[in-house]
Amino acid sequence: MLTPIVDEIHEADCLFTDLCAWKGISVSRAKYNELRQILQEHTGVDLPCLRRYASRLTDMTNLNARLFDCCINSCVAYTGGYTDLNTCPKCGHARWHIRQNGTHQPYQQYMYMPLADRLKYQYTCRQRARILQSYCQPFFNQPQGHSVLTDWWSG
């Protein structure tokens, strides 16, 4: 079973995870970095970089995220049959940005945390485990012939 390594989560950690969750659903990594720069220049606020976020989350949760290359336009992830490709098969954009020193850097990556590990972690919290185990019960207790879809359980 996964258990947190950190005994205490600080307010700064909560702010950081909220910002990164917002970043994950709202903006690209480049836009997040642009926001960091704007805030630093105009207000002196120094948001942490996303690499620090990943290592801090690992420290806090003992979950190890993996980074995968993906198309800058989010067409494909370079996994499975696309692993060896150097350009996107959908839009033709290059996978790699070649640095001045000749090394390849992916234009974009996404962070993946295995679902099984995330679920195991949620079950370490007794209150969350109860919610996960009892969530679907009201949907199974609907009268037969119930025609209103209220959740995927009733779908």
Using DSSP's 3-state secondary structure scheme, residue 90 falls into coil
Model confidence at 3, pLDDT cuts 50, 70, 90, reads: very low
Domain for residue 122, yes or no? Answer: no
- pLDDT digit string (tens) for 73-103? 999 999 999 999 999 999 999 999 998 899 9
Give residue 143's pLDDT. 66
Domain for residue 119, yes or no? Answer: no
- Burial class of residue 146 in the structure, from the number of CB atoms within 10 Å of its CB (0-12 exposed, 13-18 middle, 19+ buried): exposed
- At 82, list the tokens: 């696309």
Same structural domain, 27 and 74: no
Model confidence at 59, pLDDT cuts 50, 70, 90, reads: confident
Same structural domain, 54 and 99: no
Same structural domain, 42 and 85: no
Domain for residue 139, yes or no? Answer: no
Domain that holds residue 14: 1-64
Rounded distance, CA 98 to CA 106, Å? 9
Q: Which one, of 97, 104, 120, 113, lies nearest residue 21 by Cα?
A: 113
Domain for residue 121, yes or no? Answer: no
Most confidently modeled of 25-29, 32-36, 132-136, 146-150? 32-36
Same structural domain, 22 and 72: no
Q: How many domains does the chain have?
A: 2
- Asked if residues 109 and 102 have their Cβ atoms less than 8 Å apart, the reply is no
pTM comes to 0.52
